[in-house]
Amino acid sequence: MSHSFAVVASLIWSAGFLGAQEPPKTQAAHPREATEWIVSYAYNANDAKLPRVLLIGDSICNGYSKDVCEELAGTAYVTFFATSKCVCDKSYLRSLAFFLDEYDYAVIHFNNGLHSLSSDRRDWETCLRASVKLIKAKGKGAKIYWASSTPLKDPALTAKARELNAIAARVMNEEGVPTNDLFALMDPLDREANWSDTFHFKGEAKKRQAKAVGDCVRQALGAGKASEAAAAAALRAAATATGPDGRLDASKK
């Protein structure tokens, strides 16, 4: 059996797990990095008065997640699942399924790409489709948005991100999933002024992304920004003395 056929066969099976207790592993030959990681926070984890949003992505998502929490404070609660795992990683679907099962989400904002720049494009497309099917199956009617991968400081790597975004655009069009185009938002910006390294962004650039994500979510919810008092109350309610960040200082504003 050829590798490509094995990938397709496994992912077709993966996409057909509707109602199964646990999705099977993806089976693509995507080599793992020297360090693989998952970061996740669920803000206002003990509350269900407001709709909850799930942000899925990588270190870019990790970078803007706290700002999105502040953007949406008083309007929606935020959970984020950020990981170095490419969609082709053998346990990506299982990791994703865990976070999808944690809450009922009103909106799911999904990206996967910068750790996939070297992936076989056919494998990546197949695995991306399986991920979208999983999100739809477990999303319980959540509004789903794809976030295009952000550009990089290096032109050659940016060209690879464009390739993945083009594939994703076709997939999302076929799946009926709208795109929040973070690539187009960031690409015109000066690299020296806005990038902290090859991949990542400085503070104001992250806030720009967070506003775009917040605007996308508010539009999906048909909601405006909460009042300053309501936002501050939501941030205070999210504060914790036991987490690694101590607490959310935004409630002091």
Per residue in 36-55, pLDDT (tens digit) is 999 999 999 999 999 999 99
What integer is the mean pLDDT of 201-227?
Answer: 97
Q: Check: CATH 3.20.20.70 for 37-234?
A: no
Which letter does DSSP use for residue 150 in this model? P
Please count the other Cβ atoms lying within 10 Å of the Cβ belonging to residue 230.
14
Q: Residue 33's pLDDT band (boundaries 50, 70, 90)?
A: confident
Length of the chain as a residue count: 253
Dihedral (Cα; 168, 172, 178, 181), 10-degree rounding: 10
Q: Considering all CA atoms of the chain, what is the largest pairwise distance in Å, rounded to the nearest integer?
A: 61
39 HSE (CA, 13 A, CB side)? 14
Residue 225 has pLDDT above 90, yes or no: yes
In the chain, alpha helices (H): 3-15, 59-72, 92-102, 121-138, 155-175, 182-186, 191-194, 203-221, 228-238
Distance CA 216, CA 233 (A): 23
CA atoms of 242 and 235, how far apart (whole Å): 15
pTM: 0.86
DSSP 26-79: P----PPPSS--EEEEETTTT--SS-EEEEEESHHHHHHHHHHHHHHTTT-EEE
Specify the higher pLDDT residue, 107 or 236: 107
